[in-house]
Amino acid sequence: MKEDQTLFKQLEKLLTEQRNPASREIDLADSRKIVSIINSEDKKVAESVELRLDEIASAIDTIVSGLKVGGRLLYFGAGTSGRLGVLDASECPPTFGTDPQTVQGFIAGGKEAMFVAQEGAEDSEEEGESELDRLNVNSNDIIVGLAASGRTPYVHGVIKKAKKIGSPTIFVTTVSSDQVDLEVDHMIDIPVGPEVIMGSTRMKSATAQKMVLNMLTTGAMIRLGKVYQNVMVDLQLTNKKLEERAKRIVMMLAGLEYKEATVYLDKADYHVKTALLMALGNMDKPQAEKELLKHDGFIRRALIDLK
C-alpha cells in the first residue's frame, strides 16, 4: 500500500497528469470543436521542442561520434514511447541504408507489446538492466530512454545500467527535468503541459517525442553523409517503388533522362550515391567508390574536392 501511495503522489505532480483547462468542456463539443481544441494544443508542441534545440543538437553530435566508431543507437521505452522508438528505428534502413542492427528500438514487454499492451512490463528496473545485458551493450553504444512521465522504471533501469557500462545516455521526456530523478548525459525535456484528455500521453507527449526522434536520426544521418542537398541518397532499393524513386533522384540531381539514369544505376549496382557521383563527377564505378570512401560518403565533399 505504501508503494502505491508513493506512485500516486508522483503521478499527482506530473504535468501530463493534470487537467487541461482548454478542454474541460470537450465532452459537450461537436466534432468540429473537438478537432479545433486538439489542434490548438498540438500547435504548442513545436514551440516547446524549439526551447530544447541546443540539447537536441548536442545529442546528435554524441550519436554521430558513437556511430562512427561502430556503436549502435538503441531506443528503450514503454507503451507509446516504446512504440515510437521502434517506429523510428525501423524506418532507418529503408530511408538511410543503415544496417538493421545500427538503430534499434525496444519496448517493455517485448515485440508483443507493440500491438497489445503488456500490463506491468514497464514496472521493473531489473528488466531494463537485463535488456542491456542481453544486447551486450558497450561504451560505444548510445542509449536513448523514452518516458513521457519521466519515471518509467524499465527505462530508469536501462539508463542506470548504461551509465555503469559507460555508454552515452539520452533521455527524452515530456515533463520538466526537475520532475525526473535520473542522471543522464543529455536531458531532452519537452514539458508539453496537460494533455487534452488527462493523462493520455499518446497525444501531445507522443507528438513531441516523435519530433525529437525525427531530429535525432535525421540529423545524425545527414552528418554521416546520407543526404545530398536535401535528398536521401542512401536509401535501400528493396522494392519497385524505391527503384523508381532512385531513378527519379538520379535524374533530378544529375540532370539526366530516365534511360540515362537507369544505365548509371545499373553500372553502380543500384547504389544511388555511387551512381550520382559517377554521373556528376564523370567517373567510373571504382573511382566513384574510392572518392566516396575518401570523403566519408559525402557526395558534395567529393565533388568539391574534384574541382
| pLDDT digit string (tens) for the chain, length 307 residues | 445 566 555 555 666 667 888 889 898 999 999 999 999 999 999 999 999 999 999 999 999 999 999 999 999 999 999 999 999 999 999 889 899 999 999 999 888 878 877 666 677 899 999 999 999 999 999 999 999 999 899 999 999 999 999 999 999 999 999 999 999 999 999 999 999 899 889 999 999 999 999 999 999 999 999 999 999 998 888 888 889 999 999 999 999 999 999 999 999 999 999 999 999 999 999 999 999 999 999 999 999 988 7
Q: Are strands 227-228 and 73-77 parallel, antiparallel or unpaired?
A: unpaired
The pLDDT value given to residue 1: 41
Is residue 122 part of the annotated active site? The answer reads yes
Residue burial 108-119, b: 16+ Cβ < 10 Å; e: rest: bbeeebeeeebe
> In the beta sheet, which residues pair with residue 171?
145, 187
3-state secondary structure of 295: coil
List 17, 91, 125, 243, catalytic entry: 91
CA distance 32 to 29: 8
CA distance 66 to 89: 16
3-state secondary structure of 3: helix
> In the beta sheet, which residues pair with residue 261?
none
Contact indicator for 74, 131 with CB cutoff of 8 Å: no
Contact indicator for 278, 285 with CB cutoff of 8 Å: yes
Is-above-0.85 flag for pTM? yes
The pLDDT value given to residue 55: 98
DSSP 101: T
- At position 64, the amino acid (one-letter code) is V
**Helix segments in 97-152, DSSP class H:** 125-134
The pLDDT value given to residue 288: 95
Is residue 112 part of the annotated active site? The answer reads no
List 122, 127, 131, 291, catalytic entry: 122
Q: Strands of the chain (E only): list them.
A: 73-77, 103-107, 142-146, 169-173, 186-189, 227-228, 231-232
- At position 19, the amino acid (one-letter code) is R
Three-point CA angle 191, 155, 94, nearest 5°: 85
